[in-house]
Amino acid sequence: MVPESVIIIGGSVAGLLQGLQLKRQGSNVIVLEQDPSKDRHSHESGVSIGPSVVALLDKYDATGRPAAIPTEYLSAAWRRNHLRVANTRWRHHMSNWGCLYLILRANFDGLASAAVPHPPGPKRGDGDVDYRPGKQVTGVRYDQTANGGKGLVEVDYVDVTTGATETARAGMVLAADGVHSTVRRLLQVPTRKEYAGYIGWRGTVPEKLLSASTVEYFENRLNFTLLRGTYFISYFIPTEQGHVEPGKRLLNWVWYYFLPEGSPEMARIFTDIHGKVHPNTVPQGLVDPEVWRAQLAAHLPKMTAPLAEVVSLTPRVFVTKVGEAQCSTASFFEDRLVLVGDAFTGFRSHLGKASEQAAQHALQMDRVWRGEITQRERDREARFYAERLILLNRLIGFMGLGLWWTVLKTGVAYLWVVLGYKLGFA
């Protein structure tokens, strides 16, 4: 049975996918989001929209706004002068994190934005919802005797602006608070965290700044550019305001680049314009322009002409460390608290599957509440999906970076995981 009351910790895409599904099914939902801002800043970053996200939007979205731009091809360029060494059909949907977030917010709690200026009203049968920004969770516990012996999970939190402390209670808690999950830390869940050994430079360029030939080159495709020991992935995405029309789109790119942990180069790159060292991401507007100019000067001559145009015209870049976070236990407090999305497993970003995993978790939990599977079966599915996607993301990354022996070993590990699951070992 769908829970009557739910607290979702984390108000990003993962939490909102869960929250929208629950709202439409009549649950009363509170979302606790640590970020106090009304509008979350997305860096205009691109995300991949998989079939599970599409299925949830098709079923529950009432805005009518397109959340993604479809692509029909996957292409690859090799070094500087080989613009098309591979080209194959590969239909997919590419979105903008901010656009997707605002569409979900409009559906969940009626937030008006440039993307959805007139949010849809509640539907018949919707539960009551409350999105609470600026609420940092400080504690979680389970009272088995509360609610007539049915049990309640209690969540303590503090307002990051006023310092006021409060407690919320619900029959179910979903922890969707990301790869650096507070809930995972509070519960002392054993977690493997790993820096991949490389970073991702990222940026977007307004399509109107690009030449017609460059737009045509990147049109309707996910494009890989393989250089020596480094690679780019690029594709068109909507703007955060939801524009998907040709001429108004953004071209999104990610540049994977080896960078040893603790090296002087890492220290330079992750020190912002104010001298602050960032542990994971230097946001847009804070990257040291001298560092970026040096990066461009060293690598721009090696790029294909269309890619060089895109990267050199990018108004603002940001940079983030690529890594993984994985735990093996998803459910706690007699299955009343469940880790979902990146709070359960954070992938390397090569396949852009973070939102797809979150949507998978939403659909899996729905099957549990409908009695189609047990929580134990659901958790096994979630672990298998995570283990496969960890290895697939590594595989794509190692191929792009030219680590062919590691590609072979990772491929064997992937087959072993799939075989183990099929034979019931996992």
How far apart CA 337 and CA 174 sit, in angstroms, is: 6
pLDDT average, residue stretch 390-411: 95
pLDDT tens digits for range 24-82:
999 999 999 999 987 665 667 888 899 999 999 999 999 999 999 999 999 999 998 89
What range does the domain containing 198 cover? 68-94+193-323
**Residue where a domain terminates, one of 300, 323, 346:** 323
pLDDT of residue 39: 67
pLDDT of residue 421: 84
**Residue where a domain terminates, one of 269, 299, 323:** 323
Give the CATH number for residue 178: 3.50.50.60
Structurally, how many domains does the chain consist of?
2
pLDDT of 425 higher than 80: no
pLDDT of 203 higher than 70: yes
Q: Do the domain assignments include residue 63?
A: no
pLDDT of residue 307: 97
Q: Do the domain assignments include residue 234?
A: yes
CB contact burial 48-67 (16+ within 10 A = b; e otherwise): bbbebbbebbeebbbbebbb
Are 127 and 105 contained in the same domain? yes
Q: For the sheet containing 135-143, what is the strand order?
A: 135-143, 152-159, 165-170
Are 108 and 170 contained in the same domain? yes
Are 27 and 128 contained in the same domain? yes
Are 225 and 284 contained in the same domain? yes
Please count the other Cβ atoms lying within 10 Å of the Cβ belonging to residue 296: 17
In this prediction the pTM is: 0.95
pLDDT of residue 147: 82
For residue 320, give both structure tokens.
Answer: 């983030």
305, burial (CB in 10 Å: exposed 0-12, middle 13-18, buried 19+): middle
CB 352 within 8 A of CB 392: no
Are 126 and 157 contained in the same domain? yes
Give the CATH number for residue 291: 3.30.9.60
Are 361 and 312 contained in the same domain? no
